[in-house]
């Protein structure tokens, strides 16, 4: 598929003698949500890390916006990394406890050379507002936020890089049910407005059924149904 | 204490780190029933469960009464199935020895008899080759098997009450159903009541006779599970149910509760749910509602009679209003 945002072909990830991901293939269109579903240990998080090239796969291809990533050097990957951003399960573990929310959201802008003294702070406030956080939360540290607020801050940080793909690894699994719905609604809004593709890893079938356009189910490293 | 109660909790208050986390809770546990306690983090459900067992963390202080004092016979009349089976078992003793020790802690029986009871208990919870597995250590068990071994330990002395504190939270969906089935079977077999602490409404629907919904350390709603889930009378219960994806109407936006549960120690005045409640009125912001009898259940809400059924639209409207407000900022 040439218009795919992400095209994964025969992906293999091994840890020592264990094959965690065994020839997994799928593709994802812009603006689409593809869920990876399965029990713990089925290889869904290893797939996510390999897609992001945070763990280099042992075999297979990962085409992101048409470019093969697995053969690129770290230096070659660097300009592409902002366009594919992770959001992890543990909202507190994803943000440095020592940095204020404002600084966590500003960091990608600074690293990518898009920070100016005049526009930067306004951009951070805009991002916080975009994820449903009052910009005054920027002054706080992660431990002063609830789990749901913290996860919103993590999403704002991911958005700062202006990504096309979000790899969401159990983004709502640590949240209380009454808070989870709000974060899922936020993700749906962002996708509608920005046309983001979501690789959505989730073990909760009810959430997958409600939220994803398509789902593939993994078991022991294999795709068992697509 | 009502006459048919196995255990009666009256005006339970639990203070932890100077913060009152459970704030005047009263309920009964009836013989052979499954009572689910549901609520979100900080609601006080786990502390309540631990109080039943007199196993509160150090530094917690309580007031109120729990009668009779089953916790004085913990391990015999009341027992615990904890969330994390691995840390509930000693890593340096074979599983069978640990079950046998549980038997001998309450009954004067020979080692041989205790051992055969341990093997029988492992067999009952569906552990294949129970005699062989009794000699194995916890790390040689899979996650689901460990949780079953812990259930065997909690039921081996045929207690009156088994308290299960989020017994399946650490497990994935397939193991969850299997472990709950074993727990239900064993509870039935020994004729114990089960107090099941969970945040999973599907578990409540499938397993509970009655449900106690907690919010911010208080009773929000208590009644027959089928009726409470089928037609909630407290707005919090209704909002929680409406926000679950399995109950959501078609379309991608879920009815959502605005805001987050309050932190214990930072409660708003009046009803703790008022800032998130689409029905809140002036009285709700000044006066905390007491549990009142409504159609065979207890409901703590000034406005319960105003709650429509189904309440989904109410929370959808609230979520939409919240979105509009944000767009205007």
Q: Convert the pLDDT of each residue in B149-181 to its tens digit.
A: 999 999 999 999 999 998 887 777 778 888 899
A153 versus B316: the higher-pLDDT residue is A153
| SS3 assignment, position A7 | strand
Closest-CA distance of chain B to residue A107, Å: 25
B323 versus B101: the higher-pLDDT residue is B101
CB-CB neighbors (< 8 A) of B213 in chain A: none
Contacts of B317 (CB under 8 A, 6+ apart): B278
What does the alpha-carbon distance between residue B73 and residue B157 come to, in Å, rounded to a whole number?
11
Contact flag B40-A177 (C-beta cutoff 8 Å): yes
Which band of pLDDT confidence, cut at 50, 70 and 90, is reported for residue B222? very high
**Mean pLDDT, residues B33-56:** 93
**Mean pLDDT, residues B85-99:** 92
Contact B234, B220 (CB under 8 A): yes
| SS3 assignment, position A75 | helix
Average pLDDT, chain B: 91
* CA A203 to centroid of chain Cα atoms: 15
B236 versus B3: the higher-pLDDT residue is B236
> Using CB atoms, which residue from B40, B174, B245 is nearest to A206?
B245
**pLDDT value, residue B324:** 62
- Side-chain-side CA neighbours of A143 within 13 Å: the count stands at 4
What CATH number was assigned to the domain covering residues A6-225?
3.40.50.300
Select from B260, B311, B317, B319 the residue whose CB has the most chain A CBs within 10 Å, as the one to mutate to test that interface.
Answer: B260
| SS3 assignment, position A26 | strand
Residue spans per domain, chain A: 6-225
**Angle between helical axes of B143-155 and B95-104 (0-180°, round to 10):** 10
Contact flag A181-B240 (C-beta cutoff 8 Å): no
**pLDDT value, residue A91:** 84
Kindly list the structural domains of chain B, giving each domain's residue range(s) and its CATH number in brackets, ordered by start: 7-211 (3.40.50.300), 231-328 (no CATH)
Which residues of chain A fall below pLDDT 70?
Answer: 1-2
Which band of pLDDT confidence, cut at 50, 70 and 90, is reported for residue B3? low
**pLDDT value, residue B16:** 86
In the numeric block, the tokens 């065979």 are attached to B296
**pLDDT value, residue A186:** 95
Contact A171, B215 (CB under 8 A): no
CB-CB neighbors (< 8 A) of A176 in chain B: 40-41, 199, 260-261
**pLDDT value, residue B323:** 61
> Using CB atoms, which residue from B173, B202, B260 is nearest to A179?
B260
HEC per residue, chain B: CCCCCCEEEEEEEEEECCEEEEEEEEEEECCCCEEEEECCCCCCHHHHHHHHCCCCCCCEEEEEEEECCHHHHECCCEEEECCCHHHHCCCCCCHHHHHHHHHHCCCCCCHHHHHHHHHHHHHHCCCCCHHHHHCCCHHHCCHHHHHHHHHHHHHCCCCCEEEEECCCCCCCHHHHHHHHHHHHHHHHHHCCEEEEEECCHHHHHHHCCEEEEEECCEEEEEEEHHHHHHCCCCHHHHHHHHCCHHHCCCCCCCCCCCCCCCCCCCCCCCCCCHHHCCCCCHHHHCCCCCCEEECCEEECCCCHHHCCCCCHHHHHHHHHHHHHHHHHC
> Using CB atoms, which residue from B253, B257, B263 is nearest to A178?
B257
**pLDDT value, residue A2:** 55
**pLDDT value, residue B329:** 43
Q: Residue A206: exposed, middle, or buried by beta-carbon count in 10 A (0-12, 13-18, 19+)?
A: middle
Q: Is the peptide bond before A25 cis (omega within 30 degrees of 0)?
A: no
Q: Is the peptide bond before B187 cis (omega within 30 degrees of 0)?
A: no
Query: Of chain B residues 154-173, which have a CB less than 8 A from chain A?
Result: 172-173
CB-CB neighbors (< 8 A) of A207 in chain B: 245
**pLDDT value, residue B325:** 60
What does the alpha-carbon distance between residue A126 and residue A184 come to, in Å, rounded to a whole number?
20
First to last CA, chain A: 16
Element (H, E) at A128: helix A119-130
**pLDDT value, residue B1:** 46
Q: Which residue in chain A has the smallest CA separation from B318?
A: A182
Select from B38, B173, B276 the residue whose CB has the most chain A CBs within 10 Å, as the one to mutate to test that interface.
Answer: B173
**pLDDT value, residue A3:** 81
Asked whether residue B55 carries a pLDDT value surpassing 60, the answer given is yes
Structure ipTM: 0.79
Which band of pLDDT confidence, cut at 50, 70 and 90, is reported for residue B2? low
pLDDT, tens digit, 9 for 90 and up, residues B247-290: 777 677 888 888 888 888 889 999 999 999 999 999 999 999 99
Share of chain B above pLDDT 90, in %: 72
């Amino acid at each position: 598929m040439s218009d795919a945002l992400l095209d994964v072909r025969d992906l293999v990830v091994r840890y020592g003698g264990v094959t965690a991901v065994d020839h997994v293939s799928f593709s994802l269109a812009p603006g689409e949500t593809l869920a990876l579903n399965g029990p713990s240990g089925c290889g869904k998080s290893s797939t996510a890390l390999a897609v992001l090239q945070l763990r280099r796969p042992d075999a297979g291809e990962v085409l992101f916006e048409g470019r093969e990533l697995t053969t690129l050097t770290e230096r070659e990957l660097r300009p592409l990394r902002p366009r594919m951003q992770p959001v992890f399960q543990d909202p507190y573990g994803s943000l440095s406890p020592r940095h204020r929310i404002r600084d966590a959201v500003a960091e990608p802008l600074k690293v990518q050379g898009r920070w100016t003294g005049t526009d930067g702070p306004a951009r951070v406030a805009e991002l916080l507002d975009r994820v449903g956080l009052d910009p005054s939360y920027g002054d706080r540290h992660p431990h002063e936020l609830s789990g749901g607020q913290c996860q919103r801050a993590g999403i704002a940080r991911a958005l700062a890089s202006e990504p096309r793909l979000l790899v969401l690894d159990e983004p709502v699994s640590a949240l209380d049910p009454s808070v989870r719905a709000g974060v899922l609604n936020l993700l749906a809004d962002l996708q509608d407005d920005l046309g983001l593709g979501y690789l959505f890893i989730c073990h909760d079938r009810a959430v997958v059924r409600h939220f994803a356009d398509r789902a593939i189910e993994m078991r022991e490293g294999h795709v068992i149904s697509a | 204490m009502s006459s048919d109660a196995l255990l009666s909790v009256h005006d339970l208050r639990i203070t932890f780190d100077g913060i009152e986390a459970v704030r005047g809770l009263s309920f009964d546990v009836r013989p052979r029933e499954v009572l689910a306690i549901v609520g979100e983090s900080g609601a006080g459900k786990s502390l309540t469960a631990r109080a039943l067992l007199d196993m509160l963390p150090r530094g917690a202080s309580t007031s109120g009464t729990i009668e009779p004092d089953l916790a004085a016979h913990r391990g015999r009349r009341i027992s615990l199935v904890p969330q994390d089976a691995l840390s509930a078992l000693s890593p340096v003793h074979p599983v069978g020895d640990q079950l046998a020790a549980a038997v001998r802690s309450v009954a004067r029986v020979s080692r041989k008899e205790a051992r055969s009871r341990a093997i029988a208990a492992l067999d009952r919870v569906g552990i294949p080759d129970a005699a062989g597995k009794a000699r194995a250590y916890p790390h040689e068990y899979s996650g689901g098997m460990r949780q079953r071994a812990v259930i065997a330990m909690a039921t081996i002395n045929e207690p009156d009450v088994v308290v299960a504190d989020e017994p399946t939270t650490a497990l994935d969906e397939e193991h969850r159903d299997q472990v709950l089935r074993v727990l239900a079977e064993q509870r039935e077999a020994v004729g114990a009541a089960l107090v099941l602490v969970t945040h999973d409404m599907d578990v409540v629907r499938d397993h509970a006779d009655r449900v106690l919904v907690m919010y911010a350390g208080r009773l929000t709603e208590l009644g027959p599970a089928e009726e409470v889930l089928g037609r909630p009378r407290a707005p919090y219960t209704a909002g929680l149910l409406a926000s679950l994806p399995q109950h959501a109407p078609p379309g991608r936006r879920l009815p959502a509760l605005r805001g987050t549960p309050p932190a214990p120690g930072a409660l708003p005045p009046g009803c703790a749910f008022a800032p998130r409640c689409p029905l809140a009125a002036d009285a709700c912001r000044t006066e905390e509602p007491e549990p009142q009898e409504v159609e065979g259940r207890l409901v703590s809400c000034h406005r319960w009679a105003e709650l429509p059924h189904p309440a989904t639209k109410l929370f959808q409207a609230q979520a939409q209003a919240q979105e509009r407000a944000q767009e205007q900022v």
